[in-house]
Amino acid sequence: MLIVQKFGGTSVGDLERIQNVANRVSATKKDGNDVVVVVSAMSGETNKLVGYAQHFSKNPAQAEMDMLLSAGERVTASLLSIALQEMGHEATAMTGRKAGIVTDKHHTKARIEEINPQAMHEALGGGKIVVVAGFQGVNENGDVTTLGRGGSDLSAVAIAGALKADLCEIYTDVSGIFTTDPRIEPKAKKLDKISYEEMLELASLGAKVLQNRSVEMAKKLNVNLVTRTSFSDEEGTLITKEENIMEAPLVSGIALDRNQARISLMGVKDRPGIASDFFNRLADEEVNVDMIIQNKSHDDTTNIDFTVPVGDLQDAKKIVDSFVQDGEIKADSYNEDICKVSVVGVGMRSHTGVAAKAFSIMADNNININMIATSEIKISMVIDEKYAELAVRSLHDAYELDK
C-alpha cells in the first residue's frame, strides 16, 4: 500500500516524540508499504515565530510571514528524515516546493492549485521514505506561500490525492471522532467509520479534530482519511464515502456549538429586496450567517431572526444600526446566551421521525426550542445556553449512541 501519514504539532512536540514518530513510520515501511510523511511544526513553534515577527512590526508583510512560518515545518521534516536515516532507512526531506505543491498567490492563506508529484514519485520509486514539510507551497513567482493555520492537514490530503494513496492517516492527540464531546457525555463512543458529509457537519458544528477544508478536499479527491492518536496503537476513525459504510446508523453524532449569537430584527420594512440588501451587506463584511427565520407581523412589516458566530456580532451590529438609521428596521435585540445543538446522520435520508423525536426529547426536558433548521442529514436547534449539556446528553441517550 501507499500510505500518507501526517503528524500534527503535539505528535512532534519534542525530540523524543519525533523519535516515536520515526519508529512508527519505520514500522509502516517495514510492513512493506510505501510511505510519505507530512509533518506540522513542533507545537507552539508557529505561534512563537508569529511573536518574533510582532516584536518588529504590528503589520509585517505577508510574504515575509510565509517565509518565516514555513520554517517551523522544515525543522520537523528534516529532523524526522535524519532520525529515519539513522535507523537505517533511506529517507529524504522535502519542502512544499520540492514536493511540487503549487498554490495561488494569496499569501498566508493560499489555495493549492496543483501538485506535480514527480520528485515524490522518483524518491518512492527508489525505495525512499518521503518526508514533506506541511502547510506550505510555492506560487508561480517562486515565492513561498502557506495554506492557513492548521494547513498541514490540507497538505497531507492533497498529497494523498495526487499520489492516489490507499490511505491518509492524520495523527493527533485525540483517538478519533466521537459520537459527541466526551467532556460533556462520558458515555460518548468513538466511531469506527463516518461519511465525509457527516464529518463536515460535525466539524462545522464544533467537533474540531480536522481542518474543514481538508475534509472537503478528501471528499473531492476521494481520499480515505483516518484520524487516530500517535500516542497509542488504538485504531482511529475512518472518514470515507457513504457507500463504503455498510450499515449506516440513523444518527452518528450530536454536535454542540456554543459560539453562536442570535440577532432579532423587528419591524423590518416588507419590500422586495430588503433581505437581499441586508444579507448581502453582511456577506460583504464576511459575517457568517447561519440560521434565518422570518415571520410576518400584523402591520406591513416583518420580523427576522438569525444567528452569527459571537466573533462576528460587532460587525453585524454596525450593519443593523445603519438599517435602523435609514428607517428600514424599527428595533433590534441581541442574545449571546444561546447555543446550537445538532443531530447528524446520513441514515436520516431514508428514515422519518428523527426530527420529531429530537423535538420530543427537548419537550420532555422542558427545553424551549428557539429556532430550527434541517437539512437532509442534520437537525439543528437553537436553545438557551444553560440547557446545552442537558440537551446533548438527552439526545445522545435517546438515539442510543452509547450502545
> Which residues of the chain form contacts with ligand ASP (CB under 6 A)?
9, 40-41, 46, 72, 134-135, 149-152
Give the 3-state secondary structure of residue 70: helix
Closest approach of ligand ASP to the CB of residue 109, in Å: 11
380 binds, among ligand ASP, Mg ion, none (CB under 5 to 8 A by kind): none
Length of the chain: 403
Whichever of 8 and 253 has its CB closer to ligand ASP, that residue is 8
For 24, 25, 27, 150, the CA distances from 81, given in Å and listed in that order, are: 13, 10, 15, 22
Whichever of 218 and 291 has its CB closer to Mg ion, that residue is 218
Do the beta carbons of residue 199 and residue 212 sit within 8 Å? no
149 binds, among Mg ion, ligand ASP, none (CB under 5 to 8 A by kind): ligand ASP
Does 345 help bind Mg ion (rule: CB under 5 A)?
no
Return the range that interacts with Mg ion (CB under 5 A); candidates 6-14, 23-31, 100-108, 376-384: 6-14
Closest approach of ligand ASP to the CB of residue 85, in Å: 24
151 binds, among Mg ion, ligand ASP, none (CB under 5 to 8 A by kind): ligand ASP
Closest approach of ligand ASP to the CB of residue 96, in Å: 12
Name the β-bridge partners of 384. Answer: 338
Whichever of 133 and 401 has its CB closer to ligand ASP, that residue is 133
Whichever of 100 and 134 has its CB closer to ligand ASP, that residue is 134
Query: 234, 287, 289, 273: which is closest to 24 by C-alpha?
Result: 234
Q: In the numeric block, which cell numbers belong to residue 56?
A: 518588529
Whichever of 138 and 256 has its CB closer to ligand ASP, that residue is 138
72 binds, among ligand ASP, Mg ion, none (CB under 5 to 8 A by kind): ligand ASP
Closest approach of ligand ASP to the CB of residue 211, in Å: 7
Q: DSSP secondary structure string, 129-184?
A: EEEEETTEEE-TTS-EEE--TTTHHHHHHHHHHHTT-SEEEEEESS-S-BSS-TTT
Whichever of 20 and 108 has its CB closer to ligand ASP, that residue is 108
Whichever of 137 and 150 has its CB closer to Mg ion, that residue is 150
Query: 3, 255, 261: which is closest to 130 by C-alpha?
Result: 3
For 26, 50, 53, 210, 248, the CA distances from 67, given in Å and listed in that order, are: 30, 11, 11, 25, 45
What does the per-residue mask of binding to Mg ion show for 136-165, with x meaning CB under 5 A? --------------x---------------
- The DSSP call for residue 332 is E
236 binds, among Mg ion, ligand ASP, none (CB under 5 to 8 A by kind): none
Give the 3-state secondary structure of residue 345: coil
Closest approach of Mg ion to the CB of residue 328, in Å: 43
Whichever of 41 and 343 has its CB closer to ligand ASP, that residue is 41
Q: In the numeric block, which cell numbers belong to residue 153?
A: 492537514
Does 8 help bind Mg ion (rule: CB under 5 A)?
yes
Angle, to 10 degrees, between the axis of helix 152-162 and the axis of helix 212-221?
A: 10
Q: In the numeric block, which cell numbers belong to residue 239?
A: 472518514
Closest approach of ligand ASP to the CB of residue 210, in Å: 11
- How far is residue 42's CA from residue 10's CA, in Å, rounded to a whole number? 7
